[in-house]
């Protein structure tokens, strides 16, 4: 892993992005990894390492930099949860998307990248991945248990690249009624594949997370890898 520094689109400063590069492979596709409310933490870094092992570049920007650079929290303590929610509540999602678009453009130009770049986000990042599907030219977007996705329905007509959604059936932050509204809004959208995982909670694919479910995570990650390989290679 190495770090790069990128200029914010609004001119407010610079932010760090973390880059993982596959070994012994040239012209790789890249994935912009979008953080949860815990920052670019050890779990997200493990995902970056895994993507590199699969032959992709991975780039994870620090989206909380305007509030506190370098956030690295876990889901293991009440104090960390409180800090994570405070950061989320103070986060400007529109500016976050702008930072992600900067990161996307930078990823396309990285040495060793073949120019094809997608996004993959979790929780808050899962929501931002859907916003990238409607606001950016990413080649593919993958959302894991994104929150409040139903209230983005007004933007769904702007989706013009493949979007994969992984939905936790028992997601405590995205209840069944909201899930139903989301799926209804996307029912006729040919760009979107949505998968619901029965009996699992929010963050079922978080590495070493408290709600990690090995079976659901393996199935979801397999679907993701297949899609990324198809569209980024």
Q: Report the catalytic residues.
A: 171, 202
Asked whether 17 and 33 are in contact (CB, 8 A), the reply is no
Close Cβ partners of 187 (under 8 Å, ≥ 6 residues apart): none
Residue 142, strand partner residues = 120, 164
The two tokens of residue 139 are 């080649």
Asked whether 104 and 136 are in contact (CB, 8 A), the reply is yes
Asked whether 132 and 103 are in contact (CB, 8 A), the reply is no
- In three-state secondary structure terms, 22 is coil
Residue in the structure block whose two tokens are 């009624």: 177
The two tokens of residue 13 are 């400063």
Close Cβ partners of 46 (under 8 Å, ≥ 6 residues apart): 207, 208
Rounded to 10°, the helix 93-108/124-135 angle is 70
The two tokens of residue 161 are 């690249």
């Amino acid at each position: 892993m190495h770090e790069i520094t990128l200029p914010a689109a609004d001119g407010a400063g610079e932010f760090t992005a973390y880059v993982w590069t596959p070994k012994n492979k040239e012209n790789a596709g890249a994935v912009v990894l979008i953080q949860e409310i815990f920052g670019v933490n050890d779990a997200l870094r493990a995902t970056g390492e895994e993507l590199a092992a699969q032959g992709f570049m991975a780039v994870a920007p620090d989206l909380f930099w305007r509030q506190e650079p370098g956030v690295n929290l876990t889901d293991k303590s009440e104090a960390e949860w409180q800090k994570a929610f405070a950061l989320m509540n103070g986060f400007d999602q529109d500016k976050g998307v702008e930072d992600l678009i900067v990161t996307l453009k930078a990823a396309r130009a990285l040495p060793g990248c073949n120019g094809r770049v997608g996004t993959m986000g979790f929780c808050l990042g899962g929501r931002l991945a859907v916003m990238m599907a409607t606001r950016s030219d990413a080649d593919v977007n993958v959302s894991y248990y994104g929150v409040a996705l139903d209230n983005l329905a007004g933007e769904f007509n702007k989706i013009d690249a493949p979007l994969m959604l992984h939905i936790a059936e028992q997601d405590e932050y995205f209840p069944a009624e909201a899930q139903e509204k989301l799926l209804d809004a996307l029912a006729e959208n040919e760009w979107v594949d949505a998968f619901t995982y029965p009996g699992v909670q929010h963050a079922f694919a978080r590495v070493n997370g408290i709600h990690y479910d090995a079976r659901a995570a393996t199935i979801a990650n397999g679907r993701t890898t297949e899609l990324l390989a198809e569209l980024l290679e």
